[in-house]
Amino acid sequence: MIQSTQQLYARYVAITQKAADFNGAAAVLGWDQEVYMPEGGAGTRARQLSTLATTAHELLTSTEYGAVLQDLAAKDGLTAVETANIMRSLQDYERNTKLPANFVAELSEQTSVCFQAWAAARTSNNFATYAPHLERMIALKKRQADLVGYEGHPYNALVDEYEPGANVKMLDALFSTIGEEIKPLTARISSCTQVDDTCLHQHFDRQSQWDFSIKVLQLMGYDFKRGRQDYAPHPFTTSFGANDVRVTTRVDEQNFGYMLWSTIHEGGHALYEQGLPQSQYGLPVGSAASLGVHESQSRLWENCIGRSGWLWLKLYPELQSTFPSQLGRVSFETFYRAINRVAPSFIRTEADELTYHFHVKVRYEIEKQLIAEPTNIMELPALWNSLYQEYLGITPESDTVGVLQDVHWAHGSFGYFPTYSLGSLYAAQYYQYAMQQMPDIANAMQQANFEPMLRWLREHIHGYGRTFTAEELCKRITGESLNVTHFIRYATEKYDSIYH
Amino acid sequence: MIQSTQQLYARYVAITQKAADFNGAAAVLGWDQEVYMPEGGAGTRARQLSTLATTAHELLTSTEYGAVLQDLAAKDGLTAVETANIMRSLQDYERNTKLPANFVAELSEQTSVCFQAWAAARTSNNFATYAPHLERMIALKKRQADLVGYEGHPYNALVDEYEPGANVKMLDALFSTIGEEIKPLTARISSCTQVDDTCLHQHFDRQSQWDFSIKVLQLMGYDFKRGRQDYAPHPFTTSFGANDVRVTTRVDEQNFGYMLWSTIHEGGHALYEQGLPQSQYGLPVGSAASLGVHESQSRLWENCIGRSGWLWLKLYPELQSTFPSQLGRVSFETFYRAINRVAPSFIRTEADELTYHFHVKVRYEIEKQLIAEPTNIMELPALWNSLYQEYLGITPESDTVGVLQDVHWAHGSFGYFPTYSLGSLYAAQYYQYAMQQMPDIANAMQQANFEPMLRWLREHIHGYGRTFTAEELCKRITGESLNVTHFIRYATEKYDSIYH
């Protein structure tokens, strides 16, 4: 039976969206696991999640799906959106089918084992108990790189999964420029009078912080009819479809920054997910472009807007009246400087927007080496510490706040870290472009009105989903590729002014 | 290839538990939908739920599954538990495969349509807009009865789905006895001085009620490490496996009874689910025996224990100190009488434990007629009202509090209602048996210690799952079949004493 293009495309949509249903259900189960599940539920939940993931994977690697995609790729008469979907799905299919089922199962099993070992080792500050599991994970990731294939450095095969188009050559250049340009800036800062951020380290009660976090999300334009916020120990954003995108935050009553930055960061991710085309549910055009683009959205809100004066123009008086005894006598300038304090630290997730890149660079350099060269796994903590000393000028007090701090390697996520820096850099480039080229956006921002900014992001980024790669998007919007000088200029102007 | 019995049984377990994973995931999505989902999520959630349900159904009606079951049913060497699983799964398979896929899809679609129409009609008190959809649903249920097959009355085919073994002959006898025996009791009650329950209708603040509900669940023995309670407008219990069984409750600040009865009722259901054999996840022996047995557990806790003096021996002083201004001067006896007030009412879910059976009887008589005889659908409200007048002596003020009050028919759940009465009757029989035959249980109860009662239920009911039917369980435990006289005696003694 010969099927028409429409029939074939409908079949493609049916299979892809069915897989999305399983993945969306898994996301609900994952969300619940992090925020509400009683401890007893863990075992059953793990097997339910595994069944959902396996079923989605089977659909998306099936022979029928491959045939439908190949047929459609050869057809004329598809719309631009349909063509983008088929092109991306075909890329995914080709990537997914390169990994044999038994390899996927082995990787999944090793991820569970490795995660448990990592969590225990981190708690007990005992890298040695985790080392053999990590070593085995690295061996699997090397094999994955070989199975997927690559040009140049084997790391390219891994980073491409998270950031299509990114590679070692481009990342080396990027981190090199960051090192050269940001190092002198952080050196200047460390020679200045240090910023006092004690105003953020007072007692702020939980409920008031929570209420304030809701206000922040509302001001950003997060749609509570298509989402909600809950508490989670490790904040995250998750989407079950563009009409149900949830954020989580954490509250530390002694540190106002925990709630604040996690709320704004996750809010930025969530605005992206809420802005994806709803009609393209489960299809590439209904999905995020890449992790780097995702991070560009969270970082644009967290750093460029959240640590700017614009947001606080409106929010600081409200914050003062919420916490009069803590902040009533703290001037706007003192608060502004406090939220922009720069200082080297051990923990990546708590780093300021400048030293953050050095945290990422440490991980990037180590990952590249682990994938390409035989490495004695027991030397990893020393390597980590020496790179922290070299890039940040400090040596972690323990492996728990050093090489054991991140879950990524235990999860098998090699190649993920660079997307954090890429996101910050894209964010600065987009932000500067918008503020300089779009007077309406800049003017509104000066009135603490973020609606034009969000509308612009929706129109130029969110609405396209995965139609374009991060690089293509960047060129379309700003007229040039990712260019680190935008971040450098943004950072230099901002921090030279703060640190005089 | 000839497979060993063990291999075949392992294959049976794998398929059945995989289906349970999909159903368990659907239960998580359903729970979230009722308690936390933002309104925007409804559309995507519906399609995800549908995909999960369809996938589980396909597994459990597959030719392979049928062959595995048939092969195993013919094998020797299975354990008693394995045999029970195979026997029940084969019954399910035979029932499920009697319904063609297009009929299942049609029923599912009509359920969505009918539910929407019902909800709108109930809100606007307009039966006529719902009538054609209900009529079509009734036609489908008649067809279902024919497809499934039955002996005697076609209603038997439907009730059997919820209560295996129950039938019209048995239910007619049962409701007839209830009518004959309870009617004189409620008549005596209505001629007495009425009980004053105004003490329950004061202002009780939400948070204190919530905290109290947690205490109630703890006293019952509900395991919070394997469950949690949340708010829901229509309270329910749901299980994602015996290690994650969740309850919900509602709070009305002007009516203490709403929270109280929903918490205890759902707590009773949850104790059953938490007590099912964990090693039998997703298999019949790991599942509830029937809706009637399920309801026997909720009613035993709600009525026999929750409306008894035993529970309040311990809880009433705590309740008084929680609400001193409302209950400080209300005597134990006044409170006890208030929670046992008997009076005819329109709404089934708010009825006392005596008149409750007449609410069920109205629905049972109507269902039987709708399935067996041609009925003018527009006469349904009048039929409903005349039966309320006949059985309860009152006529509903509107269809919203009359024929439109329950969701069951819109959901296509014909044959479900009788299980509510069956549950109450089993509960009274179990309760009386335990209190009379097991001195340890009765003694502990008099110290407000419910642990021996729970242990007994675990050992004799929960731990068997679906190994036995409700009738078989009842005979094994009490030495006789369901016998209404136990409920009659329990009710007569209790209420003659309350109403002197």
Q: Pick B52's closest partner by Cβ from A25, A36, A240.
A: A25
Q: What are φ and ψ of residue A221, in 5° steps?
A: 105, 10
Beta carbons within 8 Å of B327's beta carbon, 6+ residues apart:
B199, B319, B320, B335
Is B459 marked active-site? no
| Residue A75 CA from chain centroid, whole number | 36
A335-381 pLDDT, tens digit per residue, is 999 999 999 999 999 999 999 999 999 999 999 999 999 999 999 99
Cα torsion through A136, A137, A140, A144, rounded to 10: -160
Report yes or no: B364 and B357 within 8 Å, Cβ to Cβ: no
**What's this model's pTM, rounded to 2 decimal places?**
0.94
Alpha helix positions (H), A36-151: 42-60, 63-73, 80-97, 101-124, 127-148
B391-400 pLDDT, tens digit per residue, is 999 999 999 9
pLDDT confidence of residue B1 = 62
Which tokens belong to A199? 């105003």
Question: Which chain A residues have a beta carbon less than 8 Å from that of B230?
Answer: 36
Q: Would you place residue A314 in the very low, low, confident or very high pLDDT band (cuts 50, 70, 90)?
A: confident
Question: Which chain B residues have a beta carbon less than 8 Å from that of A47?
Answer: 17, 21
**In this complex, is the C-beta atom of A55 within 8 Å of any C-beta atom belonging to chain B?**
yes
Q: Would you place residue A1 in the very low, low, confident or very high pLDDT band (cuts 50, 70, 90)?
A: low
The Cα of A227 is separated from the nearest Cα of chain B by a number of Å equal to: 6
| Residue A34 CA from chain centroid, whole number | 18
Question: Which chain B residues have a beta carbon less than 8 Å from that of A17?
Answer: 47
Q: Pick A28's closest partner by Cβ from B29, B227, B281.
A: B29
Window 206-265 of A: residues touching B by CB (8 A cutoff) are 223-228, 230, 240-241, 243-244
Which of A21, A225, A226, A245 is the best mutation test for B, with the most CBs of B within 10 A? Answer: A21
pLDDT confidence of residue B24 = 97
Q: Pick B244's closest partner by Cβ from A17, A44, A55.
A: A44
Q: Is A152 helix (H, G, I), strand (E, B) or coil?
A: coil
**What is the sign of the dihedral through the CA atoms of B223, B229, B235 and B240?**
negative
Question: Which chain B residues have a beta carbon less than 8 Å from that of A244?
Answer: 37-38, 40-41, 44-45
Q: Mean pLDDT across the stretch A479-500?
A: 93
DSSP state of B61: T
Q: Which residue of B has its CA nearest to A48?
A: B21
Question: Which chain A residues have a beta carbon less than 8 Å from that of B222?
Answer: none
Q: Which residue of B has its CA nearest to A239?
A: B41
Most distant CA atoms of chain A, gap in Å: 78
A414-448 pLDDT, tens digit per residue, is 999 999 999 999 999 999 999 999 999 999 998 99
B212-245 pLDDT, tens digit per residue, is 999 999 999 999 999 999 999 889 999 999 999 9
Percentage of residues in chain A having pLDDT higher than 90? 91
User: What DSSP assignment string belongs to B208-241?
Assistant: HHHHHHHHHHHHHT--GGG--EEE-SS--EEESS
Question: Which chain A residues have a beta carbon less than 8 Å from that of B47?
Answer: 17, 21
The Cα of B15 is separated from the nearest Cα of chain A by a number of Å equal to: 11
Report yes or no: B366 and B355 within 8 Å, Cβ to Cβ: no
Question: Which chain A residues have a beta carbon less than 8 Å from that of B38?
Answer: 224-228, 243-244
The Cα of A238 is separated from the nearest Cα of chain B by a number of Å equal to: 13
Q: Pick B28's closest partner by Cβ from A28, A38, A281.
A: A28
Q: Would you place residue A500 in the very low, low, confident or very high pLDDT band (cuts 50, 70, 90)?
A: confident
The one catalytic residue in B64, B180, B253, B266 is B266
B22-77 pLDDT, tens digit per residue, is 999 999 999 999 899 999 999 999 999 999 999 999 999 999 999 999 999 999 99
User: What DSSP assignment string belongs to B425-473?
Assistant: HHHHHHHHHHHHH-HHHHHHHHTT--HHHHHHHHHHTGGGTTSS-HHHH
Say whether B223 and A40 touch across the interface (CB within 8 A).
yes
> B194 pLDDT exceeds 90?
no
Mean pLDDT of the residues in chain B = 95
The one catalytic residue in A266, A295, A302, A471 is A266
User: Residues for chain A: how many in total?
Assistant: 500
Q: Which residue of B has its CA nearest to A245?
A: B41
How many interchain CB pairs under 8 A, A with B?
Answer: 107
**In this complex, is the C-beta atom of B38 within 8 Å of any C-beta atom belonging to chain A?**
yes
Q: What letters, b where the CB count within 10 A reaches 16 and e where it falls short, cover A120-142?
A: ebbeeeebeebbebbbbbbebbb
Q: Pick A243's closest partner by Cβ from B17, B21, B44.
A: B44
DSSP state of A172: H
Give the residue from B62, B33, B27, B50 showing the smallest Cα distance to B105. B50
Which tokens belong to B247? 């309850």
**Pick from A128-137, A189-198, B146-155: least confident:** A189-198
Q: Pick A224's closest partner by Cβ from B38, B52, B243.
A: B38
| Residue B466 CA from chain centroid, whole number | 16
> A458 pLDDT exceeds 70?
yes
Beta carbons within 8 Å of A321's beta carbon, 6+ residues apart:
none
> How many whole angstroms separate alpha carbon A137 and alpha carbon A410?
8
